[in-house]
Amino acid sequence: MKSTLYRAWLQYSPVQDAELREAYRRVLGTIVLEGRQSELLDSAIEELRSGCRSLLDIEPELLLLGNEMPQLASNEGISSGLQLRVQPAADNVQDLEEGDNSAPGKLGPEGFRLQYLGDSLQERVILIGGSEKGLLYGVFHLLRLVAAHEPLTAWNVTEEPVNRLRMINQWDNADGSIERGYAGRSIFYRNGRFTNDLTRVKDYARLLSSVGINAISINNVNVHEIETRFITREYLPQVAQIASVFRKYGITLYLSINFAAPLHIGGVGTSDPLNEDVRRWWRAAADEIYSHIPDFGGFLVKADSEHRPGPFAYGRDHADGANMLAEALEPHGGIVIWRCFVYNCMQDWRDRSTDRAKAAYDHFTPLDGRFMDNVLLQIKNGPMDFQVREPVSPLFGSMKHTNQVLEFQVTQEYTGQQRHVCYLVPQWKDVLDFDTHAGGQGSYVKRIVSGSLHSMKLSGIAAVSNIGDDENWTGHTLAQANLYGYGRLIWNPDLTSEEIAEEWTRQTFGNDEAVIKTVCGMLMKSWPIYESYTSPLGVGWMVTPHTHYGPDVDGYEYSRWGTYHFADRDGIGVDRTAATGTGYTAQYFEPNARRYETLEDCPDELLLFFHHVPYSHRLKSGKTVIQHIYDTHFEGADAAAALLAEWASLEGRVDPAQHAQVAARLAEQAEHAKHWRDVINTYFFRKSGVPDEKGRTIF
Ligand code: GCW
């Protein structure tokens, strides 16, 4: 029996309420499946059966009505039960536009319709998938409703994912380590080899599929020596095995590649993207990959970024590099996902004219329109690097002729490393709901990445995973909510953070209303709390270099990374205005550019990202900057301690193993928050000499 920690949100805890259980048993006792047998349907049935066994303690009777039994092709005679059906492919709506209701009867290939039909004589639930994959998503949704104790009469939903590409990126290395991983070692690799036991990979596929993820890249974007060879005959049989595990759950496999592979392992002597031998080498590599994995997704590429090789070495640009790979993959239907995390990581801190925040826009906007149709640019949510608070990257909306993917970070590199609780869905929602004004008012990021604003050929959302081989997958059990929430949010960006938190809590901890209220409350305030005792007002980077954990205010101040706060005795912040600063604000469309440019209009939470101000500057809140720093740090550390107390009140109401795990982490967070508080407050008190109005202890 798998532990509660391991089962995450797929607990399928027994429904205790007798009446409800009976109602579910009546309709789930018989499952009628119309359709041909397929891997995806097998997964759907397997999930349904194990779900019913565990939730309802029943072994549903399965009737197959398919090509095997054409004489039973109608459903007459079946009085009650669950009827599963796949819509004929000819009826699929291929490119379902956002909010398109023109074809109410038809589903997109990943959509499903779940309907309860009950009267006094018979009770049926019909689940129709737009394809086998849609049906699988529908099964997970149905089980979610049972786990949340939703009454049958409320089972009437039609769902379509809003985003086409819904991807997770593993930063796993072949040696078993995970770059920026905070939950143990890799579940894919150990000591330079693929793991033999794929049980865990399968359970990961189930978790991902249950929230609608449909793509995965399985190795770090920093591609080292062994991983460079993943695209060769030597490793492809093993990659293919992993691909087949994910395929059964509707997830397409991708690999991160090394741009210099032709040079390093191909014996070509160059990796120049315009060299004919190099192009031939990549075409052959693609042919080889597809002979092992016919539905291989494509390549994820970090090039000319943080010392990774790329086209610059040959005087070529990103479009040359990406198109060369795209050309090799195109005959097979593969795509290239090219990352925009490109900046000068060898900057001189004395150089005040270079601004890292501007780099991605400056590199990529001139290339708009030059990328092939099967290339997507993957853009981090902010212009810097997954800080607790950043503005939205100005690249969104600025390339109308280029496919775009938004990149989030589920792993909590700068947000407490899964030792602190930090529910990130509200942060991601801020990004998705940001109005870029690229095509006038209402040009939200979510409409750009769903492809509806500029009608892109391909688009979507990707994120760096937060899992490892820790028993509970994510180190902190509450961090499971981020992986769950990521999938649910990108399926439907209009879900609220609260709705997602509640769904997750019910499935993970059960339906005790006191537990739900407390856990959801804790999740919802966790990001503001984390922000309050760490870097203030959007300035970022006050972390220990390299590990990125814990406070070090000047850790990055005199470094090469382009990450400065410029605190002195008078003030703090980065002047990124067009008038007197780096000019970054001008990368936004109006009215955003003016809003950020103008000190009075710039939102408080981003003030120090855009402006250098004296400590005496008054925020919209009425407080001075320095008093804001003191207040938030004192309050933040208190709030972290309060989280621990709230959680303690749930002892006996949640599973003991889960309770103990979270309690231990919250205790650590409360201690560490005090450390953050004192380091930050002391630093600014010493710099500014301004005492705390409330006379609290500062060292
Ligand atoms: O966030 C930074 C990380 C690196 C990472 C890089 C990237 C995989 O500190 O560890 O490398 O970004 O996104 O490429």
The pair phi, psi for residue 614, each rounded to 5°, is -70, 155
In the chain, pLDDT over 90 holds for what percent of residues? 93
Active site residue 100: no
For the Cβ of 386 lying below 6 angstroms from any atom of ligand 1, the answer is yes
Average confidence (pLDDT) over 513-520: 98
Strand partners, 86: 129
In the chain, pLDDT over 70 holds for what percent of residues? 96
For the Cβ of 556 lying below 6 angstroms from any atom of ligand 1, the answer is no
Dist CA 565 CA 571 (whole Å): 10
Average confidence (pLDDT) over 418-435: 98
Q: Is residue 161 over pLDDT 90?
A: yes
Whole-number Å distance, alpha carbon 413 to ligand 1 midpoint, is 9
Report which of 250, 171, 152 is spatially closest to residue 491, judged by C-alpha positions.
Answer: 250
Report which of 394, 412, 414, 413 is spatially closest to residue 404, judged by C-alpha positions.
Answer: 394
Residue nearest to atom 1 of ligand 1 (CA): 385
pLDDT in tens, 32-64: 998 788 999 999 999 999 999 999 999 999 998
The ligand 1 atom nearest the CA atom of 548: 9
Q: Which of 171, 180, 465, 560 to mutate to test the pocket of ligand 1 (most atoms within 8 A of CB)?
A: 180
pLDDT of residue 119: 76
For the Cβ of 302 lying below 6 angstroms from any atom of ligand 1, the answer is yes
Dist CA 363 CA 127 (whole Å): 47
Report which of 43, 202, 198 is spatially closest to residue 135, judged by C-alpha positions.
Answer: 43
The ligand 1 atom nearest the CA atom of 386: 1
pLDDT of residue 34: 87
Whole-number Å distance, alpha carbon 305 to ligand 1 midpoint, is 9
pLDDT of residue 96: 45
Residue type, 183: A
pLDDT of residue 93: 63
Mean pLDDT is lowest, of 94-98, 165-169, 525-529, 659-663, for 94-98
For the Cβ of 345 lying below 6 angstroms from any atom of ligand 1, the answer is no
- Asked if 259 and 203 count as a contact pair (C-beta separation under 8 A), the reply is no
pLDDT of residue 104: 56
Report which of 305, 137, 280, 264 is spatially closest to residue 211, judged by C-alpha positions.
Answer: 137
Whole-number Å distance, alpha carbon 680 to ligand 1 midpoint, is 25
Residue nearest to atom 9 of ligand 1 (CA): 180
pLDDT of residue 101: 41
Q: Which of 172, 340, 341, 406 to mutate to test the pocket of ligand 1 (most atoms within 8 A of CB)?
A: 341
Q: Is residue 383 over pLDDT 50?
A: yes
The ligand 1 atom nearest the CA atom of 414: 1
Q: Using 50, 70 and 90 to split pLDDT, how confident is the model at 88?
A: confident
Positive/negative CA dihedral, 559, 565, 566, 568? negative
For the Cβ of 221 lying below 6 angstroms from any atom of ligand 1, the answer is yes
Beta pairing, strands 571-572 & 613-614: antiparallel
Whole-number Å distance, alpha carbon 282 to ligand 1 midpoint, is 26
Q: Name the average pLDDT for the chain.
A: 95
What's the token pair of residue 619? 């925020």
The active-site residue, picked from 320, 355, 385, 655, is 385
List of residues 6+ apart from 267 with CB closer than 8 A = none
Active site residue 288: no
Whole-number Å distance, alpha carbon 356 to ligand 1 midpoint, is 14
3-state secondary structure 651-666: ECCECHHHHHHHHHHH
Strand, coil or helix: 606: helix
Whole-number Å distance, alpha carbon 336 to ligand 1 midpoint, is 19
What's the token pair of residue 3? 């532990």
Whole-number Å distance, alpha carbon 559 to ligand 1 midpoint, is 16
**Helix ranges, 293-380 (H):** 318-329, 359-364
The ligand 1 atom nearest the CA atom of 302: 14
DSSP letters of 110-159? Answer: T-EEEEEEE-SS-EEEEEEESSHHHHHHHHHHHHHHHHTT--GGG-EEEE
The active-site residue, picked from 225, 306, 351, 570, is 306
pLDDT in tens, 186-208: 999 999 999 999 999 999 999 99
Dist CA 239 CA 237 (whole Å): 6
pLDDT of residue 603: 98
Active site residue 597: no
Question: What spatial distance separates the first Cα and last Cα of the chain, rounded to whole Å?
Answer: 52
Q: Using 50, 70 and 90 to split pLDDT, how confident is the model at 242?
A: very high
The active-site residue, picked from 159, 203, 327, 413, is 413
